[in-house]
Amino acid sequence: MAHRHPMKLNAEHVTHPAARRLLRAETARCADCRAEADAAALDDIAPDGVFASLLRGFALVRAEQWRNRHTRYPINVYDLAPPDEGRRMAIPTREVARLCVVEGRAGSNVTIQDALVEFSLLGDADQARVLDDVVDAILEEEG
């Protein structure tokens, strides 16, 4: 990494340091660091890896935004989405979101194993698209 982006970043659901670097690069609109961080994320889709950390953050952020008092768990992130938001997701993002399962009595846990497998089967362009959607969702509330 050539330089750092010492910016405030909440995104408390995203814990992996490389995943947080990616979010900081995007917040700083630094294309070089974003490209480097994207490559690192797409290169590490293990369950404890960079992309998994981002996907988990995506699922938890969306669960917080989209649940209401009628929500029952487990539910996948696509089914949780309001219809407009669901339609706005790219097709590969929908497929991955359908496999992100929010669970626990308060919907505070998320299972993404199947989503990671689905993601691993996507082509490069679709993976990049999903990664963009995931990052946008996490940063939507950062301001």
- State in angstroms the smallest separation of the CB of 19 from Zn ion: 15
By beta-carbon proximity to Zn ion, the closer residue of 1 and 121 is 1
- State in angstroms the smallest separation of the CB of 35 from Zn ion: 10
Binding mask 5-44 toward Zn ion (x if CB under 5 A, else -) reads: -------------------------x--x-----------
What burial letters (b/e) apply to 12-24, b meaning 16+ CB within 10 Å?
ebbebebbbbbbb
CA neighbours closer than 13 Å in the CB half-sphere of residue 137 = 30
The length of the chain, given as a count of residues: 143
- State in angstroms the smallest separation of the CB of 8 from Zn ion: 16
| Residues 26/139, Cβ–Cβ less than 8 Å | yes
Interface with Zn ion by CB under 5 A: which residues?
30, 33
